[in-house]
Structure 1
Amino acid sequence: MSGWLSWFFSVENLKSIFTYNNDAPLIFTQFFFWAFFAVVLLFYSILHKKRGLRNAYLFLVSLFFYYKTSGLFISILLFSTMSDYIIGMLIHSSKKQLVKKIFLATSVIINLFVLCYFKYAYFFTDAYNAFFQTDYHVFNHFAQFTNNTIGSHFDVDSILLPVGISFYTFQTISYSVDIYREQIKPVKSILDFGFYVSFFPQLVAGPIVRAADFIPQLYLPYQLTKYNFGLSLFWILKGLIKKVVIGDYIAVNFIDRIFDAPTMYTGFENLMALYGYSLQVYADFSGYTDIAIGIALLMGFSLPTNFNSPYKAKNVGEFWKRWHISLSGWLRDYLYIPLGGNRGGSWGTWISALFIGLFIVLLSGKMLVLYIFIWVLICLVFLAIWIKRFREWLTTNINLLITMLLGGLWHGASWQFVIWGGLNGLGLMVYKLWKKISPYEKYNNFLAIAFKVFITLNFITFTRIWFRAESMGTTWQIIHQIGNNFSFALIPAILVSYSNVFIVMAIGYAIHWLPTKTKNWYQETFINLPLVVKILLTTLTFFGIYQAMSSGMQAFIYFQF
């Protein structure tokens, strides 16, 4: 015991606990996180009945969690928290509608400016240099300010992306919009608002929590029923199994190797890597949000479901209602519908279209693309004027395409994400036309459903080439290998060589496609087990998961967004 205490209280180990390590950010799959969470729960059990102290306490531990994840980028989180708290109060207290709109626009502009500065600085600098033949370099004003303020030594010649910035900026925007729409009232204190923005289970990779859904929970008394306790354990275990046992295993042992050097593998291996990546990105991302939901539930807070068996979708439209539900719903309610939805275009539609067009022109860095964009725009305008049916089709679908393109750009400023978002937008538009003439749309027997699911899965998997590949060159290499070097004769040997990977993939998809009744059955069975049995199973599962863990800690995929 004395040896353990001396280790714990040594200066170096205390420093490692309370300081940020760029090489080891805090993530759910680390043992340190679960020790941190146990300490959080210990003090939470003392404070949970006093709502003000409870919220302030969770705000502080959330800040510590974010500091351990992102270091001094915590100041950006605090800036967003402070600015939107003040703006929210100003929106609510303003009597004139015009003033409310001005404050709302201020909130949106500030949040998007912060997001764009950290996420798209390299893109805009490179685009400017390409157009005007200059040689400007990115300069990190935030790092310079920090160095001057606290004497740190951050590199001012590079800009790193703060973890989770895309998620919490969308949350703070939803807060301002919901106050403007009078769906909620401003929170009573900045500590409450800070807790909403920074709640650590969902802070760095979602789900995106809307103010109207979460803020009312801040003022409810703590309650954890026996059922919710079992449900929270089930969510956590399910998420860890998805992430560690399925997602990380197939990534480390197969998928990453293929995407790193596609030409070294056959077309069959490249194709299987695509199917594997579809499973991996689902297991990884939904695994994170499952853990987040379970952790939040233990503390008495309800987070929205973010995935609903998306590979059971029978069409692209249904897929996007099942995948990353919090982002899809956010884009629908705060972008697609305000633009006009399927009712037609608006001024916002055409401004957004112009913005996307200019973004693509800058992305290309070539004046020729600008001329092509102008020519296409003129053609679309003339066709819309002279052909009524085309005009109706364009105005009822343009918002859909714009939303998906902006969703792609939300992930990053690259051709890869533009094409990925555009393909999904076109997929939605084509399906809207197809379902009007499809002879199969009305059939819902097993074979018809299986066929629809198969087509949808393959389309989504195909678009993920652009989502996963590091460059356009890698993308075309994968497509070329699948189309020209499939090597049918080698398939049996490949299946044997990667038998464990393919077995895990088969099990992963099989579990995903289990009927909802079956999934509900084993969930309810776990929840209704005696408490001692639940704890024993949880302990054994934790032990088994970490025994099966692949070499090294694999960061969650959506941390990069």
Structure 2
Amino acid sequence: MFDFNKLLSELVYDKNDPILFNSAFFFYYFAAFLLCYLLFSHTKKGRVWVFTLFSLYFFYKACNEYVLLIVLAAIVDFNLSRWIHRAEKQSVRKSLLIFSIVINVGLLFYFKYTDFFIGITNDLTNGNIRPLHLLLPIGISFYTFENLSYTIDVYRGEIEPVDEFMDYLFFLSFFPKLMMGPIVRASDFIPQISKPYVLNSEDIGKGMYLIVSGLFKKIVISDFIYQNFVQYIFDDPSRHTGLECLLGVYGYALVIYCDFSGYSDMALGIARWTGFKIPANFNSPYQSSSITEFWRRWHISLSSWLRDYIYIPLGGNRKGKVRQYVNLSLTMLIGGFWHGASWNFIFWGGLHGLALAVDKVRLTWLHKKGILFTGWKSTVLKVLGILITFHFVCFCWIFFKAATFHDAWALIHQIVYDFQPGIWQELYQGYTAVFGLMLLGFVLHFLPPTSELLAERTLARMPVWGNVAFLVAFVWVLVQVKTTQPMIPIYFQF
């Protein structure tokens, strides 16, 4: 017998079960969305309204009444950008831009950092101000940066403001990238809205590959390794040997990459199936041979945003080498703080900022001396660079993941002073499946780009029914191996 109350309970917001790409409810939601989208895909207005309404519902299922925030943000910046564009006096334009920045950053600050600064104030003054314990709206860090880049680009004269409010609300609320990015620029996205919806075999193959690989990375690799090994290590590092802690750090490096890039890949794949191309957010970052290269490959949308709207406005490399190094450090400190209200994140960002400055010194010295390595020396240095960069990034991940500085230093202490390599056989026997998946994850990560292209072309050549059958079979396999409760994505908290 049909249970209407059960259906209704599934459709309303549940704080204990937010909608995720890897949740069972999402597959029903996405099927309903695709059906409606295809029915109205022949007109721009139909596509915009269907996508926007489903996106707002998606956001409601993720964080309840905070869906109104994204509507408010769209209203404010849609109008401010138009007023900036029309204003003739530079002083008026700048005032409107400052107002936009204050509104956007103010909302982000209020929800994300109020309790952090209340804590600092209490520590400095021995005060007793009560924290507000505000619930952080999902995706606010991502759509705030999109809002800021839009109004700044309009102010700079790099783009024209959109004429229709629904177009801007559609851009801001676009559900594939709403909660965890990528941070999409209006200049990349909005021109695609007016293009007719045409889906070719390349789009189907590319979208299928991105969705399937994203689900595999998120559910099979990241969730399994985290829930069956990594979380035990970071919950209490002092209870584990140094060898376990080191492997836990390697595991977390893979977990955070597969978790975040997997979710980003799914966002890109869903967007591709609906006629939109979003720039990639990751490019095999652990293949980087320097920290500078790493930040060109990791969370590309954030690093490029920080470069264009923080680093360059601070002066970039235009005001001397010392100022360049200071600008790099400040930019990464801000990037660390963007991740969360915690000294751990600030320290993590500071480490990366310092490393980027040191790398710039290295590159400048090599250029000045005219040193250029070729042949086998170049290959050896590249391999060494990859190993050094990976281990530095892993060292920084310790502070990113650990709940406190005490936990981070406890883990490092175990690695340095209590390594105990002799337990490796016992450890392997206890975590055979985990270490097998870790090996598989790193092997897949270091495959050449040609393997990805081959998979995409194979899927593109398959008929529609073949793609559907493949996806259904793949989802069935995922259901058999996934954990009972979907694991909340790591970047969901940002």
| TM-score normalised per structure 1 | 0.85
Structure showing greater Rg: 1
Structure 2 residue aligned with 1:314: 289
Please state if 1:282 is matched with 2:273: no
Q: Flag the 1:187–1:499 CA change in 2: closer, same or farther, 3 A.
A: same
Structure 1 residue aligned with 2:242: 267
Q: Give the Cα separation in 2 of the matches to 1:76 and 1:137.
A: 25
Please state if 1:233 is matched with 2:227: no
Q: Give the Cα separation in 2 of the matches to 1:287 and 1:56.
A: 28
User: CA deviation digits over 1:431-482, x for unaligned, max 9?
Assistant: 1222345699624644332221111101101111000001111101101100
CA contact (8 A) 1:342 1:395 kept: yes
Point out the more displaced range, 439-448 or 217-226: 439-448
CA contact (8 A) 2:207 2:272 kept: yes
Q: What is the aligned counterpart of 2:462 among 529, 540, 559?
A: 529
Name the SS of the counterpart of 2:244 in structure 1: helix
Q: What is the aligned counterpart of 2:391 among 430, 433, 458?
A: 458
User: CA deviation digits over 1:315-373, x for unaligned, max 9?
Assistant: 000000000000011111111111111112xxxxxxxxxxxxxxxxxxxxxxxxxxxxx
Q: Flag the 1:284–1:93 CA change in 2: closer, same or farther, 3 A.
A: same
CA contact (8 A) 2:111 2:135 kept: yes
CA contact (8 A) 2:209 2:455 kept: no
Question: 5 Å matches for 1:121-200?
Answer: 121-139=114-132, 158-200=133-175
Name the SS of the counterpart of 2:134 in structure 1: coil
Q: Give the Cα separation in 2 of the matches to 1:299 and 1:193.
A: 17
Structure 1 residue aligned with 2:225: 250
Please state if 1:32 is matched with 2:32: no
How far has the Cα of 1:413 moved from its partner? 2.0
CA contact (8 A) 1:234 1:527 kept: no
Q: Flag the 1:65–1:444 CA change in 2: closer, same or farther, 3 A.
A: farther
Q: Give the Cα separation in 1 of the matches to 2:127 and 2:391.
A: 43
Structure 1 residue aligned with 2:308: 333
Which 5+ residue runs of structure 1 have no aligned equivalent? 140-157, 345-391
Q: Give the Cα separation in 2 of the matches to 1:452 and 1:525.
A: 34
Question: 5 Å matches for 1:95-110?
Answer: 95-110=88-103
Point out the more displaced range, 283-292 or 227-236: 227-236
Q: What is the aligned counterpart of 1:413 among 316, 341, 354?
A: 341
Q: Flag the 1:332–1:444 CA change in 2: closer, same or farther, 3 A.
A: farther
Q: What is the aligned counterpart of 1:430 among 345, 358, 370?
A: 358
CA contact (8 A) 2:202 2:457 kept: no
Structure 2 residue aligned with 1:217: 192
Name the SS of the counterpart of 1:55 in structure 2: helix
Q: Across the two proteins, how many residue pairs are aligned to each other?
A: 489
Q: What is the aligned counterpart of 2:14 among 12, 18, 21?
A: 21
Matching residue's letter, 2:231: D
CA contact (8 A) 1:435 1:441 kept: no
Structure 2 residue aligned with 1:403: 331
Please state if 1:302 is matched with 2:252: no
The runs of 4+ residues in structure 1 deviating greater than 6 Å are: 438-441
Structure 2 residue aligned with 1:113: 106
Structure 2 residue aligned with 1:61: 54
Matching residue's letter, 1:249: F
How far has the Cα of 1:257 moved from its partner? 0.7
How far has the Cα of 1:43 moved from its partner? 1.1
Matching residue's letter, 2:264: T
Matching residue's letter, 1:17: E
CA contact (8 A) 2:100 2:151 kept: yes
User: CA deviation digits over 1:140-163, x for unaligned, max 9?
Assistant: xxxxxxxxxxxxxxxxxx311111
Q: Give the Cα separation in 1 of the matches to 2:432 and 2:372.
A: 37
The alignment yields a C-alpha RMSD, in angstroms, of 1.5
CA contact (8 A) 1:92 1:186 kept: yes
Name the SS of the counterpart of 1:71 in structure 2: helix
Q: Give the Cα separation in 2 of the matches to 1:55 and 1:545.
A: 32
Structure 2 residue aligned with 1:506: 439
Q: What is the aligned counterpart of 1:475 among 399, 404, 408?
A: 408
How far has the Cα of 1:266 moved from its partner? 0.6
Matching residue's letter, 2:226: A
How far has the Cα of 1:395 moved from its partner? 1.4
How far has the Cα of 1:289 moved from its partner? 0.6
Point out the more displaced range, 334-343 or 439-448: 439-448
Name the SS of the counterpart of 2:447 in structure 1: coil
Name the SS of the counterpart of 2:462 in structure 1: coil
Q: Give the Cα separation in 1 of the matches to 2:117 and 2:375.
A: 49
Point out the more displaced range, 332-341 or 544-553: 544-553
User: CA deviation digits over 1:167-189, x for unaligned, max 9?
Assistant: 00001111101111222222122
Q: Give the Cα separation in 2 of the matches to 1:313 and 1:282.
A: 14
Q: Give the Cα separation in 1 of the matches to 2:52 and 2:264.
A: 20
Q: Give the Cα separation in 2 of the matches to 1:442 and 1:134.
A: 59
Q: Give the Cα separation in 1 of the matches to 2:311 and 2:121.
A: 30
How far has the Cα of 1:523 moved from its partner? 2.5
Q: Flag the 1:532–1:447 CA change in 2: closer, same or farther, 3 A.
A: farther
Q: What is the aligned counterpart of 1:543 among 476, 486, 489?
A: 476
CA contact (8 A) 1:268 1:486 kept: yes
CA contact (8 A) 2:205 2:458 kept: no
How far has the Cα of 1:199 moved from its partner? 0.5
Name the SS of the counterpart of 1:459 in structure 2: helix
Q: Give the Cα separation in 1 of the matches to 2:304 and 2:349.
A: 16
Q: What is the aligned counterpart of 2:425 among 492, 512, 535?
A: 492
Q: Give the Cα separation in 2 of the matches to 1:280 and 1:197.
A: 28
Q: Give the Cα separation in 1 of the matches to 2:375 and 2:347.
A: 32
Structure 2 residue aligned with 1:368: none
CA contact (8 A) 1:56 1:192 kept: no
How far has the Cα of 1:521 moved from its partner? 2.0
Between the two proteins, what is the percent identity of the paired residues?
40
How far has the Cα of 1:100 moved from its partner? 1.0
Q: Give the Cα separation in 2 of the matches to 1:195 and 1:301.
A: 12
How far has the Cα of 1:18 moved from its partner? 2.8
How far has the Cα of 1:135 moved from its partner? 1.3
Matching residue's letter, 2:47: R
Q: Give the Cα separation in 1 of the matches to 2:25 and 2:290.
A: 42
How far has the Cα of 1:138 moved from its partner? 3.1
Please state if 1:46 is matched with 2:39: yes
Q: Give the Cα separation in 2 of the matches to 1:506 and 1:57.
A: 43
Q: Flag the 1:444–1:470 CA change in 2: closer, same or farther, 3 A.
A: farther
Structure 2 residue aligned with 1:291: 266
Which 5+ residue runs of structure 2 have no aligned equivalent? none
User: CA deviation digits over 1:396-444, x for unaligned, max 9?
Assistant: 2111111100000001122101110011011111112223456996246
